[in-house]
Amino acid sequence: MPPTAHQVWFLVFDQFQLLDVSGPLQVFATANDELRLAGRTPVYETGVYGLSGGAVRSSSGVDLVARALPQRLARKVQTVVVPGGPGVFRPAAAGREAQDTPVAATLAQWLRRASPRIERLASVCTGAFVLAHTGLLDGAGAVTHWAACEHLSARFPAIDVQPDAIYFRQGRVWTSAGVTAGIDMALGMVETDLGRDIAMAVAKKLVVFYKRPGGQSQFSSALLEQTADDERITRLHAWIAEHLRLDLSVARMADQMGMTLRTFARFYASHTGTTPAHAVERIRLEKACRLIEAHRHSNKAIAVQCGFNSEEVMRRMFMRHLNVSPKGYRERFAAADTQGPQ
């Protein structure tokens, strides 16, 4: 490997997520393969590092042998990637949110010291919490796994969390969503370093999307569920879900709650942070997603069942909230063991 090699360091800790490392690692390795095939010199030199040298246990039980991180970087490192995994968090005390582990905090201390010599800093999945702990994400945009976005935002309010992004780049800092999104991010890095043709060749070789369609919200039905701190709203949501074919106007919902229109609108907004009309949209969309996943109905029938005025209205709703069409959602998530209607 020439002295101008692009160093890529993966920083691991006990109970890291193995795919957060192996996925991006393979992207860089395959990029080297494609460079060789093109008669060019490979550029990426990858390594796995930990706070101390030796075997580091992943959350799947597989160990990786890591080199010990130097106390101080003697030279620049082009890319440093922090994976996620359950090791980022320690078990929560009763009634308290999970906090960063001492290992993650120590890793963050190393990153702060080394930061001036790191040209590109990245995280995969909940590795964003380690970067957040350094303070390097303050005032910047970032993303993590969809299930942890609210936690990241609440714990580090100075970060502009981007809950639907597959990966997000701001300056030299890159963050990515859950698990396989690290592959998307690594492909984006390869494109930046080596150009579109090599990145496209890597994506084809690995049989993955070069540019994944849609955001990460398409991967979680939980993102569409309505939560509130009042049982009356929970009951209202259940009633809405059972009456999706009705004209669910705000006036009708207010009547169902036994409130005046103005009182209901204020009450609902104060307890949910959104509007009743927006909630109806999301509950209809949630129902449509589940029906598509079951693969038992055509899109037209689903539009009727969910109270959309037409199949086109449903399609626009999918694009607005999930950035993917009902057809695209069906192709990704419908049950694979049956060929249902389209």
Give yes or no for residue 226 having a pLDDT over 60: no
Pairing verdict, β 173-176 and 167-170: antiparallel
pLDDT at 215: 62
- Sign of the Cα pseudo-torsion (317, 323, 326, 332, in order): negative
The neighbouring-strand residues paired with 161 are 142
Q: What mean pLDDT do residues 48-71 have?
A: 92
pLDDT (tens digit per residue) in 284-314: 988 898 888 777 789 999 999 999 999 999 9
Most distant CA pair in the chain: distance in Å?
A: 74
* Cβ proximity of 53 and 67 under 8 Å: yes
Q: How far apart are the first and last CA of the chain?
A: 52
CA 46 to chain centre: 24
96: pLDDT strictly greater than 60: no
SS3 (DSSP) at 2? coil
Pairing mode of beta strands 63-68, 54-57:
antiparallel
CA atoms within 13 A of residue 196's CA, in its CB half-sphere: 1
pLDDT category at 219 given cuts 50, 70, 90 is: low
Q: Is the pLDDT of residue 135 over 70?
A: yes
How high does pLDDT run on average in the chain? Answer: 85
Task: Give pLDDT, residue 194.
Answer: 95
Residue 222 in this model has a pLDDT that exceeds 70: no
Separation of alpha carbons 137 and 122, rounded Å: 11
Q: How confident is the model at residue 331 (pLDDT cuts 50, 70, 90)?
A: confident
- Given a cut of 50, whether residue 341 has pLDDT beyond it is no
Look up the pTM and report it: 0.66
Average confidence (pLDDT) over 48-70: 93
pLDDT of residue 259: 94
Residue 10 in this model has a pLDDT that exceeds 70: yes
DSSP letter (8 states) at residue 119: E
Q: What is the pLDDT of residue 163?
A: 80
Pick the closest to residue 56 from 14, 1, 4, 105 (CA basis): 14
For β-strands 6-11 and 77-82, DSSP reports them as: parallel
In this prediction, residues 5-20 reach a mean pLDDT of 93
Question: Strand (E) positions, 76-176?
Answer: 77-82, 118-124, 141-142, 160-161, 167-170, 173-176
